[in-house]
Structure 1
């Protein structure tokens, strides 16, 4: 493609479009549906669209929070959290937990979800979710730009210390990614995709 075929902009000067394309381009993104508990025992459940895995050994996952939200505060206080897989069947429940409510409000109750106690952490998982990772925090990092200026965003990283998987998601010893019909985040205010078995293809890396 030549320059005339491309729309070009510098983010620091604005994108000039109806909606910022950044998070629509970096898509789809898995959803960080994070449950946590503060030092007083209040439980929180919230989705984050900046989420992913970062390391095999030890297994580390992380999510980025724009602004210092309850999840980050809780995790800083207790050092623990749980990631829950968001699926098509749980989409509306997940969206309900995105509501802005007071720290003492239990989003499990708001969304009509079952809070199941963790085995290795004192944080509940979503009982209806087919997969959950219990995590212990390894780092909380405030992000900053190339100029060193701090951003109003924090990356929370945690080691996965326990894994819960619905046995129906495992076939011949292999976890079936699409079986749970995970939902993933696209762009704009409310765009999502559903992962379906028919959309999968295999491509083995060259030796």
Structure 2
């Protein structure tokens, strides 16, 4: 099967891309509405793209009628947002937050989640989230009906239960984030395994260059 993306519909492009590029981490994005209440919406076009500076990127489509989503409008106005990571404990609440509510609805309250003031920004994080990133807007890229939001991570909150004994890495037994596959199908990271470079190739690599932090973390 070969697909010429210039010859298919937007719906078909979405179906093919999201079916085969996965799993995609889910960000439950918190923002502050103009009226002052909390707004929260799940985004699966999301990832971390840099550690120095610490950068995350959201990809948010406009609504079917072409209007901008509340999350984008709030971020444009305030320049702040929180990325709340999602595990099974809040998976059902995350889905509720994804309903197309009216702008005056507080999704955090509606879903039964607990707002907690952030440290460096004026957007509440979600207490039940295993990990939350306070972010300040770095830039917005408007591209047709898609908006790319680049945010710098200013502060991070992690539940102690999610860390190993040395508090350096996650504990895979207790931190199992969910990710989206296709349509209404999700996956959780409860099956993990290690893949390491062959020892001989590690020696070869060391002889060529001094590995940077990215290489060392793999």
1:41: which partner in 2?
36
Q: Distance in 1 between matches of 2:34 and 2:102?
A: 16
Structure 2 matches for 1:43-58, cutoff 5 A?
A: 43-58=38-53
Gaps of 5+ in 2: 63-67, 206-218
Instruction: Say whether residues 1:167 and 2:167 are aligned partners.
Output: no
**Cα deviation per residue 1:170-191 (whole Å; 9 max; x = unaligned)?**
112322163321100111x201
Please report the RMSD computed on the Cα atoms of aligned residues, expressed in angstroms.
1.9
Q: Indicate conservation of the 8 Å contact 1:82/1:135, yes or no.
A: yes
Distance of 2:97 and 2:187 partners within structure 1: 18
CA contact (8 A) 2:163 2:171 kept: no
Match of 1:106 in 2: 106
The alignment's TM-score, normalised by the length of structure 2, stands at: 0.82
Q: Secondary structure at the match of 1:109?
A: helix
Q: Does 1:87 align with 2:90?
A: no
Count of matched residue positions in the alignment of Structure 1 and Structure 2: 191
2:75 is paired with a residue whose SS is helix
Q: Distance in 2 between matches of 1:177 and 1:10?
A: 43
**Greater share of residues in helix:** 2
* 1:186 equivalenced with 2:181 (yes/no): yes
Q: Secondary structure at the match of 1:72?
A: helix
More strand by share: 1
Q: 1:86 to 1:201 in 2, by over 3 A?
A: same
- Separation (CA, whole Å) in 1 of partners of 2:70 and 2:129: 22
Consecutive unaligned residues of structure 1, counting only runs of 5 or more, are 1-6, 144-150
In the TM superposition, what whole-angstrom CA distance separates every residue of 1:1-34 from its partner, at most 9, and x where no partner exists? xxxxxx11112212798x8221111100111210
TM-score (norm 1): 0.86
